[in-house]
């Protein structure tokens, strides 16, 4: 029968379309009507005579609902993966058309059997099924979705499996407590005791969603299963268990956290594989948050200390990376006694990766220190390590530090900043690595609040100049982006004196992105310093470039005018800019001419109607008869936008 489907393609379209009409009807009528539609028809009914059916039309479902599934199946079997993928992505349409009962009885079994497809198709399927609850008839029937998702949760490809688990987690919430025990929990158990590691890996992600809503006997079983998986002999499963340990701990009763989770945590944290141990560090944060303060020392700290000194840098890296979270979880006392020395060690670690991760946390760590001893700890313990890091051999470490070090000034206050931090800032401003200097400059605002930027300006200038001329255009771009901020902090005099030339030099950079950013920068500066300043310092230079022999520079003039006209106001635009733009309409390069048209369109709204009619209009009309088609196009566009026709 399916074979016939193809030949009848066109007819099916019609069929499908009626279905669509019905579907809409159903949507409008709401769920009650939808149920009415789904009345199953007996075989006898199906063989009723035409008239009988016609008379029953109001409520009966047509047999044509057969075709969408036929179409789908035909498409699902197509040789072309893309077509199979398409049909899977439209699965909800098909299910909607089929109605809930046929979706349950025909579509889902079919899908369960097609699990041997390409991973891409399976991924789409796994995702779709997570949103299928209403399409199978609501929460009452949601367990019908379990068989296909169970198979999907056992495939090798991680992406598919993860998606299946995600969908399973989603629909688990739609199960009633009874269904959860009758249908969902057995599935978790089956997965947890599967032969191949993939199903056991998937099971790890499902314990925490069903645990809170099942009876205590089932809870005991779930805990047992989780324990077993934590000591699985494949590292893949242990990794999955370790990564879900924190999440599982959160749903467990406190007594079980102490009795079960802690022993699992300790075991995983001393696993033979560092990839497992480092995941235990992540769990440490959640576990420590759950336990009362007095238990932390005995239950968590031995393991955490061991992790901070692990022989694998990956584990130490993880500790450094999670340091702020750990600090918050264990509280101020343990932080003072244990974490401070641990953090010092991490800042002095032999691997640059670890040092960089720790350096990134310097500010957060200091911020979260208990207030009473904060300054003392920073000054005596942390700052000496930070000083060493400023001259680290590895540039990633230095630039990680540079991105946060400025934040210390707010914590330490004016005097300490000037005495201790300022020399470090200055050293980093002279660092050989541009990223370090850039990170310092981009965080200047923190220092500005505490000591004022003047303290730095002497060293700042050479650093900025050097970055402004860096060989990498991305570095130049980054420094341009900080210009408005710097200008605001340094004040207009300093700017005019030292930085103005740089800003103008960027306008003739050989990289377009820089010229574009420079244009935008000028606009922001004008917004900051006002139109008068613009008229005196920027506008003459910009307009001067209109006579440059390089057409790219002439175009930059136009781009600047586009950006500046609004900020400069009608007077400057009409008197100074407009004549230049109009003059450029005679440029011999077509690109310049059509940019004149674009510029006129852009600055038109700023001009008064007299200027528009007497000056702009004739020029645009002339350009509209240009030999170049692009010039013509943009001139016409400008004429219509400015309503000059």
Partner 1 sequence: MSAISASEKVDGFTRKSMRKAQKQRKSQGSSQYRTQSAPVELSPLPQLKDAPSTEQQELFTQKLQQCCMLFDFLDSVTDLKSKEIKRATLNELVDYVSTNRGVLVETAYPEITDMICTNIFRTLPPSENPDFDPEEDEPTLEASWPHIQLVYEFLLRFLENPDFQPSIAKRYIDQKFVLQLLELFDSEDPRERDFLKTILHRIYGKFLGLRAFIRKQINNIFLRFIYETEHFNGVAELLEILGSIINGFALPLKAEHKQFLMKVLIPLHTAKALSLFHAQLAYCVVQFLEKDPTLTEPVIRGLLKFWPKTCSQKEVMFLGEIEEILDVIEPTQFKKIQEPLFKQISKCVANPHFQVAERALYFWNNEYILSLIEENIDKILPIMFGSLYRISKEHWNPTIVALVYNVLKTLMEMNCTLFDELTSSYKADRQREKKKEQERDELWKQLEELRLSNPTLVQNNCHGLTGIKRMVRHFGKWAYCLSRSQVDEKIDATLVSLWEIRSYR
Q: Which of the residues 332 through 361 are near partner 1 (CB under 8 A)? A: 350-353
Q: Is residue 14 close enough to count as binding partner 1 by CB under 8 A? A: yes
Among positions 101, 157, 174, 548, the unique one binding partner 1 when judged by CB under 8 A: 157
Site for partner 1 in 473-502 (CB under 8 A): 473-474, 476
37-67: burial string, b at 16+ Cβ within 10 Å, e else: bbeeeeeeeeeeeeeebeeeeeebbeebbeb
Count the residues in the chain.
645
* 12 contacts 71 by C-beta, under 8 angstroms: yes
Alpha-helical segments (H) within 491-577: 492-494, 500-506, 512-529, 531-533, 539-544, 551-572
Closest CB 108 distance from partner 1, rounded Å: 19
Among positions 505, 511, 629, 645, the unique one binding partner 1 when judged by CB under 8 A: 511
Among positions 35, 37, 38, 62, the unique one binding partner 1 when judged by CB under 8 A: 62
Q: Is residue 202 close enough to count as binding partner 1 by CB under 8 A? A: no
Nearer to partner 1, 223 or 277 (CB): 277
Q: How far is CA 577 from CA 172, 540, 560, 610, in A?
A: 66, 10, 10, 16
Count CB-CB contacts under 10 A for residue 82.
Answer: 9
Q: Is residue 505 close enough to count as binding partner 1 by CB under 8 A? A: no
- The site that binds partner 1 (CB under 8 A) totals a number of residues, namely 79
Closest CB 38 distance from partner 1, rounded Å: 16
Closest CB 306 distance from partner 1, rounded Å: 13
Among positions 63, 372, 419, 571, the unique one binding partner 1 when judged by CB under 8 A: 63
Roughly how many angstroms between the first and final C-alpha of the chain, as a whole number?
Answer: 65
Closest CB 303 distance from partner 1, rounded Å: 18
* 398 contacts 361 by C-beta, under 8 angstroms: no
Q: Is residue 427 close enough to count as binding partner 1 by CB under 8 A? A: no
Closest CB 182 distance from partner 1, rounded Å: 32
Give φ, ψ of 116 to 5 degrees. Answer: -95, 40
* 366 contacts 411 by C-beta, under 8 angstroms: yes
Q: Is residue 60 close enough to count as binding partner 1 by CB under 8 A? A: yes
What's the angle, vertex CA 340, arms to CA 335 and CA 342, rounded to 5?
110
Among positions 48, 170, 189, 420, the unique one binding partner 1 when judged by CB under 8 A: 48
Closest CB 29 distance from partner 1, rounded Å: 12
Q: The tokens of 254 are what?
A: 């406190």
Per-residue x/- track, 272-311, partner 1 (CB under 8 A)? x-xx---------------------------------xxx
Q: How far apart are CA 620 and CA 632, in angstroms?
A: 9
Q: How far apart are CA 369 and CA 412, in angstroms?
A: 12
Site for partner 1 in 78-107 (CB under 8 A): 79, 83, 86, 90, 93-94, 96-97
Nearer to partner 1, 203 or 538 (CB): 203
* 23 contacts 29 by C-beta, under 8 angstroms: no
Site for partner 1 in 551-570 (CB under 8 A): none
Among positions 13, 182, 220, 379, the unique one binding partner 1 when judged by CB under 8 A: 13
Among positions 32, 44, 471, 643, the unique one binding partner 1 when judged by CB under 8 A: 471
């Amino acid at each position: 029968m399916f074979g016939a489907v193809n030949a009848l393609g066109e007819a099916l379209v019609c069929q499908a379309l009626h279905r669509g009409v019905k579907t809409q009807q159903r949507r409008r009528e709401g769920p009650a009507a939808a149920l009415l539609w789904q009345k199953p028809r007996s075989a006898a009914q199906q063989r009723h005579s035409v008239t009988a059916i016609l008379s029953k039309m109001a409520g009966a479902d047509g047999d044509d609902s057969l075709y969408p599934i036929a179409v789908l199946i035909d498409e699902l079997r197509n040789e072309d993966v893309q077509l199979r993928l398409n049909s899977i992505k439209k699965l909800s349409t098909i299910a909607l058309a089929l109605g809930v009962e046929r979706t349950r009885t025909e579509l889902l079994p079919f899908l369960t059997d097609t699990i041997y497809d390409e991973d891409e198709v399976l991924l789409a399927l796994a995702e779709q099924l997570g949103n299928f609850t209403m399409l199978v008839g609501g929460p009452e029937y949601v367990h019908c979705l379990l068989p296909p998702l169970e198979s999907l949760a056992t495939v090798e490809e991680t992406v598919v499996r993860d998606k299946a688990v995600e969908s399973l987690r989603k629909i688990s919430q739609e199960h009633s407590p009874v269904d959860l025990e009758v249908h969902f929990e057995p599935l978790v158990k089956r997965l947890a005791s599967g032969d191949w590691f993939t199903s056991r890996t998937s099971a790890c992600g499902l314990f925490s969603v069903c645990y809170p809503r099942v009876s205590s006997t089932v809870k005991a079983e779930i805990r047992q299963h989780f324990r077993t998986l934590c000591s699985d002999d494949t590292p893949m499963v242990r990794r999955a268990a370790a990564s879900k340990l924190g999440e599982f701990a959160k749903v467990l009763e406190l007594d079980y956290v102490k009795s079960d989770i802690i022993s699992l945590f300790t075991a995983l944290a001393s696993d033979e594989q560092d990839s497992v141990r480092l995941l235990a560090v992540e769990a440490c944060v959640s576990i420590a948050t759950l336990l009362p303060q007095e238990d932390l020392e005995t239950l968590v700290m031995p393991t955490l200390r061991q992790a901070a000194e692990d022989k694998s840098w990956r584990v130490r890296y993880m500790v450094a990376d999670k340091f702020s979270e750990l600090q918050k979880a264990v509280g101020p006392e343990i932080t003072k006694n244990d974490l401070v020395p641990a953090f010092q060690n991490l800042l002095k670690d032999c691997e640059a990766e670890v040092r960089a991760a720790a350096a990134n946390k310097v500010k957060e760590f200091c911020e979260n220190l208990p207030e009473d001893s904060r300054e003392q700890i920073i000054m005596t313990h942390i700052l000496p390590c930070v000083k060493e890091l400023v001259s680290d051999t590895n540039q990633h470490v230095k630039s990680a530090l540079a991105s946060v070090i400025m934040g210390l000034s707010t914590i330490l206050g004016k005097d300490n900043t000037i005495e201790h931090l300022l020399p470090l800032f200055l050293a980093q401003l002279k660092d050989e690595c541009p990223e370090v200097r850039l990170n310092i400059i981009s965080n200047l605002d923190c220092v500005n609040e505490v000591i004022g930027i003047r303290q730095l300006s002497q060293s700042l200038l050479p650093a900025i100049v050097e970055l402004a001329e860096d060989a990498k255009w991305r570095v130049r771009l980054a420094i341009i982006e900080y210009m408005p901020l710097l200008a605001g902090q340094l004040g207009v005099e300093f700017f005019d004196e030292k930085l103005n030339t740089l800003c103008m030099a960027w306008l003739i950079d050989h990289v377009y992105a820089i010229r574009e950013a420079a244009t935008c920068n000028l606009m922001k500066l004008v917004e900051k310093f006002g139109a008068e300043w613009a008229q005196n310092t920027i506008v003459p230079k910009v307009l001067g470039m209109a006579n440059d022999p390089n057409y790219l520079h002439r175009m930059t003039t136009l781009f600047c005018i586009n950006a500046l006209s609004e900020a400069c106001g009608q007077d400057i635009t009409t008197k100074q800019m407009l004549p230049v733009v109009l003059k450029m309409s005679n440029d011999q390069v077509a690109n310049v001419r059509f940019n004149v048209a674009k510029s006129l369109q852009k600055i038109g709204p700023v001009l008064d109607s007299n200027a528009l009619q007497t000056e702009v209009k004739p020029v645009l009309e002339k350009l509209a008869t240009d030999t170049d088609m692009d010039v013509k196009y943009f001139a016409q566009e400008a004429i219509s936008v400015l309503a000059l026709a």
